Amino acid sequence: MTNASKQDHVLIFDTTLRDGEQSPGATMTHTEKLEIAEMLDDMGVDIIEAGFPIASEGDFAAVSEIARRAKNSVICGLSRANFKDIDRCWEAVKHASRPRIHTFIGTSPLHRAIPNLNKDEMAERIHDTVTHARNLCDNVQWSPMDATRTEEDYLFRVVEIAIKAGATTINIPDTVGYTAPRESAEIIRRLIENVPGADEIIFATHCHNDLGMATANSLAAVEAGARQVECTINGLGERAGNTALEEVVMALKVRNDIMPYQTGIDTKKIMQISRRVASVSGFAVQFNKAIVGKNAFAHESGIHQDGMLKNAETFEIMRPEDVGLSETNLVMGKHSGRAALRSKLAELGFELADNQLKDVFVRFKELADRKKEIFEDDLIALMRDSDAAEQNDHLKVKSLRVVCGTEGPQEAQLTLTIDGEDKSVTATGDGPVDATFNAVKELFDHTARLQLYQVHAVTEGTDAQATVSVRMEEDGKIATGQSADTDTVVASAKAYVNALNRLIVRRSKSAPNEDVKSVNYKDHG
Ligand code: KIV
Ligand code: ZN
């Protein structure tokens, strides 16, 4: 399929597992990556960028396994512009029935300065690496990183070289979220008009959201002839994130009258995967986020509610069912059984094996005893907690009792299980949460710095669960932790411990990452 031959179809390239996972603190486990990949494959994503195989043993293993398991999607891996990266990428993606190698190099003046290549040397590097990739795989994507800040004549030159060397997709990244819709369209239009061979390949658009224009820039590029949109679920990604898959797909669906392009995405699966990605990445979706935010279909003002009751179209441009939101949100109570729980969790994107269900059911009953009504969001919080608990091998909160109130000092009596051994301490602090965190630190000494502490109520009412998010940093490595409980201080302690556990895992991963830094741009492998 080329730009010319399939005018109305837009390919969806999802990079949640690569660009999304690069967001500081969004690391996913191997199992979580496989699960998200399966959901992407199932919802009709055309190409899944499953990871950066040379980045770590873990990335390599995840990309290889996703490649083996994929049923429909093309499986793509990322590689820098050197033979060693490309070979490693091929080793991982070759197991897919439809593999793709994606290789890139920064072409703007700022990025050319990093490997210290002049224009001619870089052009030669592009020719050599794309040729090498194409000799391994007949589906090759090439990206000039920071394309939107690259001199136009040089961009035309290197795109032509990549096409001649065998690239089948040329991706135009707006790496720093700098472009605006008119310019985004213009770049694609001028590439198609001016670069020899442009009509034989697919142009892709890859936009970051630093100025909040990523989705608009992607759609403008589509209108100018791009036929692949690169995006992530919930717009997850470095800094302000990437174009959000759900926004592009729903915009093309709802405004098909003015943007007559189709995607193969089953939009009814959007809500399910959005919740799952929020849960495994630890990046909660903001309430007013387009399409997938909690308030996207909520109406509170009297006028809006009145209008909605008379005709939903007065204030809704799409139906909640279109994105897989069920009409009623009140789901279960203490009399609900195991089968009902399993089916509701499946609807929310959690497929559980029998032994997992057993554990979750016990926790569900405990919650139902404390809380009259259980909503979908309560179940999601419960699942997020049990996901976290599975990873928490080193530290666990065994018990916590706090003394708080107007008379200080506030105090926390905490018992942690550290590598199987119970350890207790009593610590004081400026409030019960501070006292609790001090107690954790006394039991498990660490140098991690707390960067963020956030609490929000999962649902309404004084018996609502509080979700606590914690973000910690240690030697440049960032980990987030989350937990929910009807007791805010307990949720805080568990979230803090969850973040520490993730940091411990990250510490052990640092060795293979060092490898990557030593593979420099001049290394042709
Ligand atoms: O934003 C970017 O430039 C990228 C490239 C690796 C394609 O993610
Ligand atoms: Zn990117």
pLDDT tens for each residue of 269-281: 999 999 889 888 8
* 520 pLDDT higher than 50: no
pLDDT score for 512: 41
Ligand 1 atom at shortest distance from the alpha carbon of 171? 7
Determine the distance separating the centroid of ligand 1 and the alpha carbon of 143, expressed in angstroms. 7
Contact of 275 with 39, CB cutoff 8 Å: no
| Average of per-residue pLDDT across 202-211 | 98
Determine the distance separating the centroid of ligand 2 and the alpha carbon of 22, expressed in angstroms. 9
Residue 481, class by beta-carbon neighbours within 10 Å (0-12 exposed, 13-18 middle, 19+ buried)?
Answer: buried
Ligand closest to the CA atom of residue 171: 1
Tell me which of 204-218, 330-344, 421-435 is least confident.
330-344
- Residue that the structure tokens 């002839």 belong to: 225
- CB of 32 closer than 6 angstroms to any ligand 1 atom: no
- CB of 206 closer than 6 angstroms to any ligand 1 atom: yes
Nearest Cα residue to atom 8 of ligand 1: 19
| Average of per-residue pLDDT across 312-335 | 75
Q: Which residue blocks in 392-522 are alpha helix, DSSP H? A: 432-443, 488-518
Instruction: Tell me the C-alpha distance between 195 and 151, whole Å.
Output: 14
- CB of 104 closer than 6 angstroms to any ligand 1 atom: yes
pLDDT score for 309: 64
pLDDT score for 182: 98
Contact of 292 with 274, CB cutoff 8 Å: yes
* 517 pLDDT higher than 50: no
pLDDT score for 5: 46
Work out the percent of the chain whose per-residue pLDDT is above 90.
60
* 440 pLDDT higher than 80: yes
| Average of per-residue pLDDT across 411-432 | 94
Residues 6+ apart with CB under 8 A from 117: 125, 521
* 112 pLDDT higher than 60: yes
Pick 514 or 80 by higher pLDDT: 80
Determine the distance separating the centroid of ligand 2 and the alpha carbon of 178, expressed in angstroms. 12
Residue type, 294: K
pLDDT score for 515: 34
Determine the distance separating the centroid of ligand 2 and the alpha carbon of 260, expressed in angstroms. 26
| Average of per-residue pLDDT across 500-508 | 76
Question: Where residue 496 falls among pLDDT bands split at 50, 70, 90?
Answer: very high
Determine the distance separating the centroid of ligand 2 and the alpha carbon of 305, expressed in angstroms. 40
Nearest Cα residue to atom 2 of ligand 1: 175
Nearest Cα residue to atom 5 of ligand 1: 145
- CB of 102 closer than 6 angstroms to any ligand 1 atom: no
Instruction: Tell me the C-alpha distance between 202 and 144, whole Å.
Output: 14
| Average of per-residue pLDDT across 407-414 | 92
pLDDT score for 352: 84
Question: Where residue 7 falls among pLDDT bands split at 50, 70, 90?
Answer: confident
Per-residue pLDDT of 451-478, as tens digits, reads: 889 887 766 677 777 888 888 888 887 7
| Average of per-residue pLDDT across 144-160 | 98
Pick 335 or 362 by higher pLDDT: 362
pLDDT score for 511: 39
What are the beta bridge partners of residue 419? none
* 302 pLDDT higher than 70: no
* 4 pLDDT higher than 60: no
Contact of 172 with 204, CB cutoff 8 Å: yes
Ligand closest to the CA atom of residue 105: 1
Using alpha carbons, list the distances in angstroms from residue 275 to 15, 63, 75, 126, 131. Answer: 17, 22, 23, 39, 40
Confidence (pTM): 0.79
Mutate-to-test residue for ligand 1 from 16, 52, 208, 236, highest number of ligand atoms within 8 A of CB: 208
- CB of 145 closer than 6 angstroms to any ligand 1 atom: yes
Residue type, 223: E
pLDDT score for 452: 85
